[in-house]
Amino acid sequence: MKVGARGWLSGVCRIPSPNCDSRPPGTAIELLVMHNISLPPGEFSGDAITHLFTNTLNTAAHPYYAQLQGVRVSAHFLIRRDGAIIQFVPCSKRAWHAGVSSWQGRSACNDFSLGIEVEGSDFVPFTERQYVALVRLTRLLRRSYPLRAVVGHSDIAPGRKTDPGPYFDWKRYLAAR
């Protein structure tokens, strides 16, 4: 994998999301934010996440989806349960993953961060393949951008978000990255 001039990675599946925009001029990418996601909650197959990030989710297909009507979100990357990486937003653009957020006194974390969704939930362990892919991706991003920290969504939106959740093995991930 390599990061191209426009922020797209080679060697990964690319599914462009419209849910992104330009970063503020001169803003460095300094933060990596870990998330978890499953749609419907607790289910780890299908294309619902891709449909959510591309605004094509059929909100009538599952009772949970009704609350997602009109929601416009994205992340730079998704790591599936089998370790496959999908990129939705080029690193040069601002993905809409953090929402109302703050890190070290700076608000609007989307401006200066990259978002990685790891397919999972707060209730089950992540897979070996996911950790391998995540470490590989993190190493590449650390070589390509001036990242100062890696945090969970819960760290930048405390009380509002819990992900990546209690089953995310921070010790293992941080030791390997």
Question: Is residue 62 a contact partner of residue 27, using CB atoms and an 8 Å limit?
Answer: no
Question: Is residue 99 a contact partner of residue 157, using CB atoms and an 8 Å limit?
Answer: yes
Spatial distance between the Cα atoms of 24 and 65, rounded to a whole number of angstroms: 32
Q: Is 43 a catalytic residue?
A: no
Residue 126 half-sphere exposure, CB side, CA atoms within 13 Å? 31
Triad 85, 11, 29: Cα angle to 5°:
70
Instruction: Report the DSSP pairing between strands 102-103 and 93-95.
Output: unpaired
Query: 30, 117, 119, 128: which is the annotated catalytic residue?
Result: 117
- Name the phi and psi angles at 2, rounded to 5: -140, 150
**So which residues are the catalytic ones?**
117
